[in-house]
Structure 1
Amino acid sequence: MTTEQISSSTLWKATTGAIIVGLVLLVTAILPAEYNLDPTGVGKALGLTELSPESLAEKKAAADDAKAGSNSDSAGEAVELTIPPKAGLEYKMVMIEGNQVDFEWFTNGGAVYVDMHGEPKGDTTGYFKSYTITTVNEMKGSFIAPFEGSHGWYFRNDTDQAIDIMLFFSGEYQNPHLL
């Protein structure tokens, strides 16, 4: 077995390279995602500035302002959900057949398992109809209820850290609630 000795100039070159890579990542990814600071514009191009707590707070404030401006369900609502590690929760609303809800949700970075589904009103068998089942960190769309009942999302966090979800929705629904 042979051992090679690394020269001090090689060690300094490797250290300098690691520092440069770290600084590039700091400026292009970490600052935009965590602090909404984007000196190069790369963070915005990659969508990283949308993940910052400041950006999430601005979106929530805008949704709250829209909700405050009207008393109808169609004005929209914003809900912040926190899913603990290795846990799940449901967020549902009551809809009449043919009612439509537009929605958008995103996490603070981590992907979650989501099952968007509905349960018919008055059904006691445990039946539910899934519309979307996937693992993602964001989703946007429109939904028309195929039957009267409870419709919404089951989110599951399979990671070891809590994940926050910002959920925005508007349309024809009643009684939005966390289960």
Structure 2
Amino acid sequence: MTHFTPPVHSGATLIKACVAASLLAAVLLLTCILPAEYNIDPTGAGKALGLTALAEAAEAPVAIALGQTPPTRQPRSDTITITIPAGKGLEYKLLMDQYAQLEYEWQTDGTPLYFDFHGEPEGDTSGYFESFAITTSSNMKGSLTTPFTGSHGWYWKNRSGKPVQVSLTLKGDYIIKG
């Protein structure tokens, strides 16, 4: 019968292994983890490897989920169709910075909707909102320079007995919250 005795490493060998593992962990932290997870790239390796793009792509949805405004906005334009169910109300919001510009136009098939075009300041917990227009109409066209950073948009109430589609056209600096 063969008797196996595992090797016993010296204290110096264990210290060398711990130091090597720590150095490897530090290199991976600086070149891979920080750029990919937090968009922090002190070495530039994260950008070269395409890892900072992962963090940038993840920032906007996380910020929206936390009720925060993502850090960058690009001018854009969109046309969106929104269905307001019969006898129901629906809110549609955009995230915008203070003094951002928005051009908008919406219309229905001719069915009038009650609406409140308003904004809510970012971080406000009091329930405050500022209305820009409140009326009943089947269409509206205009522009807005936002007075504060936060969510801005419409609340539509369909008082008819059938669903109503709203065609909304937007142009400006915003992120769609929905």
Specify if TM > 0.5. Answer: yes
- Counterpart for residue 67 of structure 1: none
Checking the alignment, whether the CA contact within 8 Å between 1:112 and 1:136 is kept in structure 2 is yes
Which blocks of at least 5 consecutive residues in structure 2 are unaligned?
1-72
For residues 1-179 of structure 1, the aligned pairs below 5 Å read: 73-174=74-175, 176-178=176-178
| Aligned amino acid, residue 133 of structure 1 | I
**Deviations along 1:55-103, whole A, 9 cap, x unmatched?**
xxxxxxxxxxxxxxxxx84341011001111101111011111001000
| Aligned amino acid, residue 146 of structure 1 | P
Checking the alignment, whether the CA contact within 8 Å between 1:73 and 1:173 is kept in structure 2 is yes
Q: CA deviation at 1:173?
A: 1.0
Structure with the higher fraction of residues in helix conformation:
1
**Structure 1 moving runs of 4+ over 3 Å:** none
- Counterpart for residue 64 of structure 1: none
Aligned-partner SS, 2:75: helix
Whole-Å Cα distance in 2 between the matches of residues 156 and 164 of structure 1? 12
Q: Count the aligned residue pairs.
A: 106
| Aligned amino acid, residue 132 of structure 2 | Y
Checking the alignment, whether the CA contact within 8 Å between 1:73 and 1:172 is kept in structure 2 is yes
Q: Rg: which structure is higher?
A: 2
**Deviations along 1:5-36, whole A, 9 cap, x unmatched?**
xxxxxxxxxxxxxxxxxxxxxxxxxxxxxxxx
Whole-Å Cα distance in 2 between the matches of residues 96 and 116 of structure 1? 17
Whole-Å Cα distance in 1 between the matches of residues 74 and 135 of structure 2? 28
Checking the alignment, whether the CA contact within 8 Å between 2:101 and 2:173 is kept in structure 1 is yes
Which blocks of at least 5 consecutive residues in structure 1 are unaligned?
1-71
| Aligned amino acid, residue 177 of structure 1 | K
Aligned-partner SS, 1:76: strand
Cα RMSD (Å)? 1.2
Q: Say if 1:73 and 1:168 are closer, same or farther in 2 by CA, change over 3 A.
A: farther
Identical aligned residues as a percent = 43
Aligned-partner SS, 1:126: coil
Could you tell me the TM-score, scaled by structure 1's length? 0.57
Whole-Å Cα distance in 2 between the matches of residues 152 and 78 of structure 1? 14
Checking the alignment, whether the CA contact within 8 Å between 1:103 and 1:169 is kept in structure 2 is yes
